[in-house]
Amino acid sequence: MNETNLSKRLTLVAEQIPPGSTIADIGSDHAYLPCYALKHGLITSAIAGEVNEGPFQSAVEQVRKLNYTDEISVRKGNGLQVLNKGEVDVITIAGMGGPLIVSILEHGREKLPGIKRLILQPNVAANQIRVWLEENNWILINEEIIEEDGVIYEILTADREGNSPYSEEKRNLELLLGPFLMEKRSDIFLKKWKSELTSWKEIVQQFEKAKQTNEVVEKKKQLLEKINEVEEVLKWQN
C-alpha cells in the first residue's frame, strides 16, 4: 500500500471525501490517505495526526518524499488535539475500534464546530459510533461494508445536515446493524451477522449451563431477543 494504491477499505474512505475538502486524518500512520487524496485532487490540504512516534516519523518522511509539506501538516498528538478549531472541514478516523473512535470524538468535541463531515472506519463495534452520532446530532448519510484479507470492515459517513435514516419501530436494531447496510443486505453483511449469531448462540448455551440467577436469566432473555431480531433481518427477501 502507498499513496497511489490504497487498501480497499481506505479507498472507500477516500471516496467519501467531498472534492475540495480540507481534512484531518487522525491516526494517519504513514499518511497514505491524505497523500492519496491530495494526489487525486480530492483535497486542497490536510493534517495528518499520529500519537505514536514511529508512525509519526513515517508520516513525516512520506510527506517529505512526495514534496507535499506545504499542503500536508504532520502533527504528533492524541486524537483531535492536533487540530485548531476551523482548520479543516472533514475528519477521517480509520483502523481503530469503535469505542476508541467515540472516545476521540468525545474528548475532542470542542474541535468539531465547523466540521461538515465525519468519515469513520471502525474495526469493531460500529454500533457504538452510530449511537454517538445520533446523540450528538450528526446525521448518518452512508454506510459501506467490505471484507479485506479475511477481516470485515464498516465505513460510516455522517454530515451535519440531512434526514435521520432511523425508523421509530426498528431504531435499536438499525443502530446495531446499520440502517443502510440492512437495506442493502450484501453478502458480506449477511456473512458478518451469521457469524455473530453463531457466537451469540454459544453464549446462550453457556448461560443455560450457568447457575440461573436473576441476572443470568435476564441476560439470556435479552440475548435471545436480539438473536430473533437479527435472524428476522437475515430472512428478509431482497
Residues 224-236: tens digit of each pLDDT? 999 999 999 988 7
Q: Are residues 40 and 137 in the same domain?
A: yes
Q: Are residues 143 and 226 in the same domain?
A: no
Q: Are residues 97 and 198 in the same domain?
A: no
Domain assignment present for 3: no
Q: Are residues 156 and 201 in the same domain?
A: no
Compute CA 110 distance to the chain's CA centroid, rounded to the nearest angstrom: 20
CA distance 219 to 224: 9
pLDDT of 65: 95
Is residue 99 packed enough to be buried (19+ CB in 10 Å), middle (13-18) or exposed (0-12)? Answer: middle
pLDDT of 4 over the 80 cut: no
Q: What are the backbone angles phi and psi of residue 67, rounded to the nearest 5°?
A: 60, 40
Q: What DSSP state is assigned to residue 70? A: T
- pLDDT tens for 15-36 read 999 999 999 999 999 999 999 9
Domain assignment present for 1: no
Q: Are residues 88 and 195 in the same domain?
A: no
Mean pLDDT of the chain: 94
pLDDT of 3 over the 70 cut: no
- pLDDT tens for 47-92 read 999 999 999 999 999 999 999 999 999 999 999 999 998 999 999 9
pLDDT of 2: 63
pLDDT of 238 over the 80 cut: no
Q: Which three cell numbers stand for residue 38?
A: 491530495
Identify the helix (H) or strand (E) that includes residue 100.
helix 98-107
Domain assignment present for 111: yes
Q: Are residues 154 and 177 in the same domain?
A: yes
Residue 154, by phi and psi: left (phi above 0), alpha (psi -120 to 50) or beta?
A: beta
Which amino acid is residue 215, in one-letter code?
A: E
Domain assignment present for 2: no
Domain assignment present for 205: yes
CA distance 175 to 73: 35
Sequence-separated (6 or more) residues with CB below 8 Å from residue 125 = 97, 98, 99
Average pLDDT (141-151) is: 96
CB atoms within 10 A of CB 85: 12
- pLDDT tens for 174-217 read 999 999 999 999 999 999 999 999 999 999 999 888 888 898 88
Q: Are residues 101 and 28 in the same domain?
A: yes
Residue 207: domain span: 187-235
Query: Nearest-CA neighbor of 143 among 127, 7, 99, 5?
Result: 127
- Residues, the chain: 238
What CATH number is given to the structural domain containing 105?
A: 3.40.50.150
pLDDT of 216: 86
Domain assignment present for 200: yes
| Count of the separate structural domains present in the chain | 2
Beta strands in the chain (DSSP E): 21-26, 43-50, 72-76, 90-96, 117-122, 139-148, 151-159
pLDDT of 166: 97
Cβ atoms of 13 and 155 within 8 Å: the answer is: yes
The pTM is what? 0.94
Beta strands in 14-138 (DSSP E): 21-26, 43-50, 72-76, 90-96, 117-122
Domain assignment present for 171: yes
